[in-house]
Chain A
Amino acid sequence: MTYPDKHGHFGQFGGRYVSETLMPALLELEEAYRKYKNDREFKAEFDYYLRQYVGRPNPLYYAEKLTKRLGGAKIYLKREDLNHTGAHKVNNTIGQGLLAKRMGKRRVIAETGAGQHGVATATIAALMGMECEVFMGAEDIQRQSLNVFRMKLLGAKVTAVTSGTATLKDAMNEALRNWVTTIRDTFYVIGTVAGPHPYPMMVRDFQAVIGREARAQHMKAEGRLPDVLVAAVGGGSNALGLFYPFLKDASVRMVGVEASGYGIPSGKHAAPLCAGSVGVLHGNKTYLLQDEDGQIAHAHSISAGLDYPGVGPEHSWLKDTGRAEYVSITDDEALEGFKALTREEGIIPALESSHAIAHVLKLAPTLPKEQSIVVCLSGRGDKDMHTVAQAMGVSL
C-alpha cells in the first residue's frame, strides 16, 4: 500500500484539518496535482527547469577528509547547497509554480522561516511572471535580513508577521488567513511536507528528486545502496525527499535530525518527534510541541528554518512504524557541525544542515569503514553568517 490514503492520511497522521472555505481549494489542488503529476508535458517541463535552471543533478560528494578525521563510515554529501538559490527548497517551488500556472493562478503566497523557501518562491514567481507575497515572522526578519532583501529584489512583497511568537508557525497562520481571503486567484506554495493534504504528498514527490539522484549516484560510486541516510528535520522536506526513494530498501537506515535548541530538558527546543505529542496544527495531525491543554508551545532553535513546533505527518508515521529513527542536536552541537564541515571540507553549510552534519560527527565513528552514510546538505550557510558570528561573539 502506498501512503497517503485518499483523504491524505498516513495511518492516524495527516488529513485536512482546515476551515470549510479552504476545502474546495484543496480538492481542486489535489485534482490538478493528480492530473499533472503523470502528465508527460508537465514532467518534461519540471525536469527541464531542474536541469537547466536549478543545476541538477547536483553531486553526491565523497567527503574524504571528514571521513578520515572521524575514522568510521564513508560520508557522502548530497549537495543541495549547490542548487540555484542555495537550498533544496527550489525543487518544490518549481513544481508548485508550474502547477499554479496550469491552474490559472496569477498570484502565489508563501510562508518562510529562514527565508530559503521565501527566496525560492520569489524566484519562481519572477521566473514565471506571477505576483508574490511572502509571510515571515518579525523575529525571523531580524535574523535573516539578507534573505528578506533578496526576496524584495526578486519583486516579492515581504509581510512581517507580529502575532503569536512572530516565527515560522505564525507566518503559516498568516499565510493561511491570507489564502482564505484571496482563494480565487491565489496559489499557496507551502514550503515543507506539512499542511493539509495534498501538500505533504505533493511536496514529498517534488523533493524526491534528491533521493532518486542520491540512490543512483551512490550505486555508481559504491556499487550498492548506502547504509544510513541522515537529514535535518524541521518540517522535514529535505529529509523526506532523501528518504522516500529508499523506503522499500529495508537495509537502509534512515535518521532524521531534529533541533533540540538549548537541550530537550530546557523545554526550549524544536523536536516534536523526539519530545512532543500527537495533535492537530496547520491542517494536519502530527507530532507537535504543545501543553496539556493542546495550546501550541514555543519552539526554539538557532536555525530559523527548524524553529517550528510541528513536523510533516509522514515523518510522524515513519517514526511510529519504526521505519525511520529520529534524534536531536542542540544549538551548540550544530555550531560544531557547522565549523567541522567548513574547516575539513571547505563547505559552509546552512545551520539547518549543520544539525545533520553534527549527528554524522557522532554516528560515523561508531560505524565500520566499509559502510557509508549519505547526508543531505540541504543548503548553504551564506544566509547564516550573522547568526553564527553572533554565536561566536564576533561583530560584523
Chain B
Amino acid sequence: MTRIGKRFAQLKKEKRKALITFVTAGDPDLALTERLIPSMAAAGADIMELGMPFSDPMADGPTIQLSSERALAGGTTLAAILAMVKRVRETCDVPILLMGYFNPVFAFGQERFCKEAAAAGVDGVLLVDLPPEEAVEFGRLARGAGVDLISLLTPTSDQSRIARVKRVAAGFVYYVSVAGVTGARATVAADIGAMVETIRSRVSLPVAVGFGISTPEQAATVARVADGVVVGSALVKLFEEHRGEELVERVCAAVKGLRGGVDGAA
C-alpha cells in the first residue's frame, strides 16, 4: 500500500475526510514548490497533488492553463520535478500525487518515469488523457513500480465505465463533479452524493471529489458525502497575484480554511 492508501485508512479510523490540494509544480519555480509542500502539509493538506505542466492542457480552465504556462516559462521539466520530490522526501512524508497529461510522460519514457517516480517517493500518478483503454501498458508499469494509477470518473460515467475503471484503479477514485474543465464555480453540483455512493459500492476504493470546489463551505458540503475533497484552481489563483513568502503564507492560510471546512463537516 502506498502512502495514499495508508493516509485514507488512517483518516477513516479517525473518522475524518481527506483534503487533497493541487498546485502546479514549478509555478513560478520549483524552489517555491519545494517550500510549499511541507508548509501545506503542516497547514492541513493530507495529499499533495502536483501538476506536471503541459503546453496543451485540454482539460483545464484558464486558471490552471496560465499556471502551466508560468511553470513552463520557468523551465520546469519532468526530470526536475522528480528531483524536487526526492529532496522533499528527505524531510516530509506527505503522500504525493503527480497529475498531468500523457505526452510529457510518454516523451520521458513510460518505464523510466514509473521507476524514477517511485524512487523519488511519488505515490500516485493521474494522467487526465489516459483512459483505461489506453492505460494498459502504463498501468502495468506503475503497478510494477509500486505507484498508484489514479482513475477518474465523471457525471457522464455509466455502469460500464465504472466497471472498466474498477479494473485499473488504485489508491482512490477521483470523481470529477461536473462535466467541464477545472476551475472555481459558484455552486457544487447537487447530485454528488448519489454518484459517490454508486462508485463506492462498486469500486472498493475511497472516492475523492474535485473540480469546481473552492471555498471552505463547498469543501464542507462535499466532505459530508465523499472520502476526500480536491481543491485546485482556488489555490492556483493565488499564484497570479502573490510571490515568495507572501504566496506561501496565503496558500497555507487557504489550506487551513479548507481544512476547517472539511473537518467541520464530519
Q: Footprint of B on A, CB under 8 Å?
A: 7, 15-21, 23-25, 163-164, 169-170, 173, 176-177, 180-181, 183-184, 279-283, 288, 290, 292-296
B107 and A281 form a contact (CB under 8 A): no
B161 within 8 Å of A by Cβ?
yes
> How far does the alpha carbon of A281 sit from the alpha carbon of B57 in the complex, in Å?
10
> How far does the alpha carbon of A127 sit from the alpha carbon of B90 in the complex, in Å?
64
A181 and B165 form a contact (CB under 8 A): no
In the assembled complex, the CB of A64 is this many whole angstroms from the nearest CB of chain B, namely 46
In the assembled complex, the CB of B28 is this many whole angstroms from the nearest CB of chain A, namely 17
Enumerate B115-134 residues with CB–CB distance to A below 8 Å: 128-131, 133-134
B56 and A281 form a contact (CB under 8 A): yes
In the assembled complex, the CB of A61 is this many whole angstroms from the nearest CB of chain B, namely 40
Q: Which residue of A lies closest to B72 (CB)?
A: A295
> How far does the alpha carbon of A12 sit from the alpha carbon of B156 in the complex, in Å?
28
B133 and A16 form a contact (CB under 8 A): yes
B56 and A293 form a contact (CB under 8 A): no
Query: With A18-B131, A176-B58 in contact, do A24 and B102 touch (Cβ < 8 Å)?
Result: no
> How far does the alpha carbon of A173 sit from the alpha carbon of B61 in the complex, in Å?
11
B148-187 interface bits toward A, Cβ cutoff 8 Å, 1 = contact, 0 = none: 0001111111100100010000000000100111000000
> How far does the alpha carbon of A184 sit from the alpha carbon of B102 in the complex, in Å?
26
Q: Which residue of A lies closest to B62 (CB)?
A: A163
Query: With A181-B180, A290-B103 in contact, do A17 and B129 touch (Cβ < 8 Å)?
Result: yes
Query: With A177-B181, A295-B55, A296-B56 in contact, do A20 and B106 touch (Cβ < 8 Å)?
Result: no
Q: Footprint of A on B, CB under 8 Å?
A: 54-62, 65, 72, 77-78, 101-108, 128-131, 133-134, 151-158, 161, 165, 176, 179-181
Q: Which of B130, B153, B179 contacts A17 (CB 8 A)?
A: B130
B180 and A18 form a contact (CB under 8 A): no
Cross-chain pairs A/B with CB under 8 angstroms, 13 sampled? A19-B152, A20-B156, A21-B179, A23-B157, A176-B58, A177-B61, A180-B180, A181-B181, A281-B103, A288-B103, A294-B105, A294-B107, A296-B56
B59 and A180 form a contact (CB under 8 A): yes
In the assembled complex, the CB of A57 is this many whole angstroms from the nearest CB of chain B, namely 38
> How far does the alpha carbon of A19 sit from the alpha carbon of B59 in the complex, in Å?
7
B181 and A183 form a contact (CB under 8 A): no
Which residues of B are found within 8 Å of A183, using beta-carbon distances? 156, 179
Which residues of B are found within 8 Å of A280, using beta-carbon distances? 101-103, 106, 129
A294 and B106 form a contact (CB under 8 A): yes
Across the A-B interface, give the 6 residue pairs with the lowest CB-CB distance, nearest first.
A294-B107, A294-B104, A20-B152, A181-B180, A21-B154, A295-B55
A20 and B131 form a contact (CB under 8 A): yes
Which residues of A are found within 8 Å of B179, using beta-carbon distances? 21, 180-181, 183-184
> How far does the alpha carbon of A19 sit from the alpha carbon of B100 in the complex, in Å?
11
A19 and B129 form a contact (CB under 8 A): yes
Q: Which residue of B lies closest to A278 (CB)?
A: B106
A20 and B134 form a contact (CB under 8 A): no
B56 and A164 form a contact (CB under 8 A): yes
Which residues of A are found within 8 Å of B77, using beta-carbon distances? 293
B153 and A294 form a contact (CB under 8 A): no
Most B CB contacts (10 A, CB to CB) among A24, A170, A279 go to A24
A25 and B181 form a contact (CB under 8 A): no
